[in-house]
């Protein structure tokens, strides 16, 4: 049994420690590769929500009832989310058996191809209902590739980072989400100015929406070439990876099942709180606050850039105080002051657009900033032989229950106005984050060594 010192360390003090903690070029390239891959992942995830949204009429029958339109639109988004756990299962398993690098290259190549295929899709006028069915299938396969990608690239990067820098660089990797959301939103806004969307025959509906998909595919192709040339396989995996049965190892004992359950609770809270911002907030800003679609896009771009700063601050703080206390307190922050700010926005929003931007920016920071720890904490939670599988499944499986947020809102409508049903979901999500963190150990000082399995019961001890 090897004890891991969990005392707070502000930095190296000797020349040798300074040398040991410096980030070598290989680690930097791995971190940049994980960030870039995650950026492409998130760009790809939100393509149908942001870029295809103004052109959905292209895939739908003009006689389709409004209720069916809502279902079909949600299926296009949810199908990708449902594909991610499958991809995490497949990709994580092969990443733990064969290596992280090769799996990431195959996965990014796969969803780059999917982007080109979706950009070439005909619409309802040409193929009828088959067009939207095939598009949903492509999104499902796309989600499988996305799940395989981050299940391999992030563990590779984290295994190359010194533990005193994992919090900061893990937050940097997670910046891929807000920056991708800003990129796809800004690109869509520009395309709408070049090719307006005004009915089925309008330029954006016929061809404008395809451009962001094509760009996504080209970015993926460029990334695959760069990653193959510049990023090397994780040395930690090379020394102790190659697990024959990662799933059996991951779920082979009550202790490991308990650890995975704790991660599932934590990430369920992560996803539920995130949905209140990415999936529910844009509609409320238009329908309740009264902003135009252009104002909503501008506001969200500013807000998510601000959120990126929050990610980095969260990573820095967690590196000093620890992951566990930070997650417990920030989960409570989302549930209480975060929900309070959301209520303020929905019931008495500021009269000026600038005031709304400030309020939403502060609200989103409080609700979502702990996402800066997701990559770091989950990778620290699993041993080398099952890290890709544990990280990928822990990250992806928990997305499924929160994905049905719209059904929960319908049920809550029996007790409150529909516009306010987002608040209980936010409170529950924040509390799940706090409870999930409370159930688990502190992971900041865990060493990534082959053969070491972090024991949640001993809080700071690794068991050989």
Of the candidates 217, 219, 99, the residue with the CA atom closest to the CA atom of residue 153: 99
Quick one: residue 199, left, alpha or beta (phi over 0 = left, psi -120 to 50 = alpha)? Answer: left
User: In this predicted model, which residue has the larger pLDDT, 5 or 360?
Assistant: 360
pLDDT greater at residue 254 or residue 113: 113
What integer pLDDT is reported at residue 271 of this predicted model?
A: 94
Q: What does the pLDDT read at residue 241?
A: 60
Tokens at 325, concatenated: 């206390």
Spell out the alpha helix ranges (H) of 161-292: 166-174, 176-194, 203, 210-230, 235-240, 246-250, 254-275, 281-287
More confident residue, 23 or 116: 116
Q: Please provide the DSSP assignment of 43-54 as one string.
A: HHHHIIIIISGG
Give the β-pairing of 453-454 and 2-3. unpaired
**Confidence class of residue 240 from pLDDT cuts 50, 70 and 90?**
low
Tens digits of per-residue pLDDT, 192-202?
999 999 889 99
Model confidence, pTM: 0.86
**What confidence category does residue 425 fall into, taking pLDDT thresholds of 50, 70 and 90?**
very high
Residues shown for the chain? 464
Among 216-220, 238-242, 287-291, the least confident range:
238-242
- Of 108-112, 223-227, 445-449, the least confident: 445-449
How is 249-279 classified by DSSP, letter by letter?
HHTSSHHHHHHHHHHHHHHHHHHHHHHIIII
Instruction: Report the candidate in 170, 30, 171, 29 with the shortest Cα–Cα distance to residue 100.
Output: 30
DSSP class of residue 234 equals: P
Q: Is 453 helix (H, G, I), strand (E, B) or coil?
A: strand
Residue range 73-89: average pLDDT? 85
Cα separations (Å) of 234 from 157, 271, 445? 7, 28, 19
Q: What is the DSSP letter of 174?
A: H
Determine which of 85-94, 142-151, 380-389 has the lowest per-residue pLDDT on average: 380-389
Evaluate whether 149 touches 22 at the Cβ level (below 8 Å). Answer: no
331 against 399, higher pLDDT: 331
The DSSP bridge partners found for residue 3 are 461
Give yes or no for a contact between 378 and 400, defined as CB atoms under 8 angstroms apart: no
Mean pLDDT of 169-175: 95
Residue 199 burial by Cβ neighbours in a 10 Å radius (0-12, 13-18, 19+):
exposed
In this structure, what are the phi and psi dihedrals at residue 276, rounded to the nearest 5 degrees?
-65, -20
What pLDDT does 10 receive?
42
**What's the CA gap between 220 and 378, in Å, rounded?**
25
Q: Measuring CA to CA, which residue among 18, 50, 6, 1 is closest to residue 324? A: 6
Q: What is the DSSP letter of 163?
A: G
User: Is pLDDT of 435 > 90?
Assistant: yes
Separation CA 301–CA 186 (nearest Å): 7
Task: Choose between 294 and 221: higher pLDDT.
Answer: 221
Q: How many CA within 13 A on the CB side of residue 115?
A: 29
Is 363's pLDDT higher than 70?
Answer: yes
* pLDDT of amino acid 354: 97
Q: Is the pLDDT reported for residue 66 higher than 80?
A: no
Average per-residue pLDDT for the chain? 87
Q: What is the pLDDT of residue 417?
A: 92
For the cut 60, the answer to whether the pLDDT of residue 7 exceeds it is: no
For 195, list phi and psi in degrees, rounded to 5: -130, 90
In this predicted structure, the answer to whether residue 377 has a pLDDT above a threshold of 90 is yes
Q: What is the pLDDT of residues 242-267, one digit of tens each?
A: 666 778 878 877 887 888 999 999 99
Band the pLDDT of 171: cuts 50, 70, 90: very high
Task: Tell me the domains of the chain and their CATH numbers.
Answer: 24-231 (1.20.1250.20), 242-464 (1.20.1250.20)
Mean per-residue pLDDT for 61-73? 78
Question: Could you tell me the maximum CA-CA distance found in the chain, to the nearest angstrom?
Answer: 73
Q: Which of 449, 398, 375 is nearest to 34 (CA)?
A: 375
Residue 6 in this model has a pLDDT that exceeds 60:
no
């Amino acid at each position: 049994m090897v004890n891991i010192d969990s005392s707070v360390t502000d930095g190296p003090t000797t020349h040798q420690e300074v040398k040991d903690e410096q980030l070598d070029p290989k680690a930097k390239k791995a971190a940049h590769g994980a960030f870039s891959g995650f950026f492409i992942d998130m760009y790809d995830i939100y393509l149908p929500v942001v870029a295809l949204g103004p052109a959905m009429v292209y895939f739908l029958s003009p006689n389709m009832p409004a209720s069916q339109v809502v279902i079909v639109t949600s299926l296009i988004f949810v199908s990708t989310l449902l594909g991610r756990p499958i991809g995490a299962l497949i990709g994580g398993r092969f990443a733990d058996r064969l290596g992280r690098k090769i799996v990431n290259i195959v996965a990014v190549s796969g969803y780059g191809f999917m982007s080109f295929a979706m950009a070439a899709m005909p619409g309802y006028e040409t193929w009828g209902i088959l067009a939207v069915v095939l598009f949903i299938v492509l999104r499902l396969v796309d989600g499988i590739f996305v799940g395989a990608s981050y299940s391999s690239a992030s563990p590779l990067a984290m295994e190359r980072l010194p533990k005193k820098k994992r919090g900061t660089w893990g937050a940097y990797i997670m910046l891929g989400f807000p920056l991708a959301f800003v990129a796809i939103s800004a690109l869509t806004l520009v395309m709408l100015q070049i090719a307006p969307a005004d009915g089925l025959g309008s330029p954006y509906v016929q061809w404008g929406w395809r451009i962001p998909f094509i760009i996504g595919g080209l970015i993926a192709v460029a990334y695959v070439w760069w990653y193959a040339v510049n990023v090397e396989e994780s040395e930690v995996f090379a020394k102790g990876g190659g697990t024959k049965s990662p799933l059996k190892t991951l779920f082979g004992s009550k202790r490991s099942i308990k650890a995975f359950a704790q991660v599932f609770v934590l990430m369920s809270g992560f996803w539920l709180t995130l949905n209140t911002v990415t999936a529910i907030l844009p509609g409320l800003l238009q329908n309740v606050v009264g902003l135009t679609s252009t104002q909503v896009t501008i506001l969200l771009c500013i807000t998510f850039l601000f959120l990126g700063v929050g990610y980095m601050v969260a990573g820095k703080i967690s590196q000093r105080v620890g992951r566990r206390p930070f997650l417990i307190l920030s989960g409570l922050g989302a549930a209480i002051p975060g929900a309070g700010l959301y209520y303020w926005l929905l019931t008495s929003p500021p009269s000026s657009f600038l005031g709304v931007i400030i309020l939403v920016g502060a609200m989103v920071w409080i609700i979502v900033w702990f996402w800066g720890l997701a990559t770091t904490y989950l990778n620290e939670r699993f041993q080398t032989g099952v890290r890709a599988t544990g990280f990928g499944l822990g990250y992806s499986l928990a997305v499924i229950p929160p994905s049905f947020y719209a059904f929960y809102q319908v049920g809550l409508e029996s007790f409150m106005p529909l516009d306010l049903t987002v608040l209980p979901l936010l409170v529950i999500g924040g509390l799940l984050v706090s409870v999930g963190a409370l159930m688990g150990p502190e992971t900041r000082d865990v060493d990534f060594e082959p053969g070491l399995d972090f024991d949640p019961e001993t809080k700071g001890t690794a068991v050989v």
